[in-house]
Amino acid sequence: MADELSLGDVVCQLALLMKRNNLPIGFKDEAPWHLLFYRLKREAKQGRPGFLDHLRFDSDARYPRCRELSEFLHGLHTACIVDVANPSFEEMILPDDVMSDWEQERSALDTKSKSFLAQGLEIAKEEFPLKQEVNA
């Protein structure tokens, strides 16, 4: 059920989709993640999970910043669930076993949730800079 998707589920599933679509999964610069969720909160309609309504964004950075999201992104790394590219920490790397685990979770999702995640992927394509842009 779409309303059962949690913040963590959406982060993991979007990271998976980004990987499948050859998008860089940013880690050190968190801004794209926050902007992605900020836009999802404002724009997403179809299959919108309930947690989005309670997500809070702080106004003390250069972008709307959600502490809960930040905590989870760091938690994924510090709990050794995902890797990051050393020594620059630019990108998140998904180990094969984690990808297959999340893939399994994805296959159990309903159509509404998948549609919501598809909206998320489209926003991610706009907010996450491609590698050549990062290097430019």
Q: Would you say 118 and 10 are in contact if contact means Cβ atoms under 8 Å apart?
A: no
Distance from C-alpha of 37 to C-alpha of 40, rounded to nearest angstrom: 5
32 HSE (CA, 13 A, CB side):
26
CB of 46 to another protein, least distance (A): 20
| Nearest CB to another protein, comparing residues 29 and 114 | 29
CB of 15 to another protein, least distance (A): 12
Residues lying near another protein in the complex (CB under 8 A): 6-8, 12, 28, 31-32, 35, 38-39, 51, 54, 56-65, 67-68, 70-72, 74-81, 84, 86-87, 89, 97-98, 101, 126-127
Report the alpha-carbon angle 15-76-70, nearest 5: 85
CB of 124 to another protein, least distance (A): 11
| Nearest CB to another protein, comparing residues 17 and 76 | 76
Q: Where are the alpha helices (DSSP H) in 58-110?
A: 67-78, 96-107
Q: Would you say 57 and 10 are in contact if contact means Cβ atoms under 8 Å apart?
A: no
CB of 110 to another protein, least distance (A): 20
Joined tokens for residue 21: 């679509």
| Nearest CB to another protein, comparing residues 111 and 129 | 129
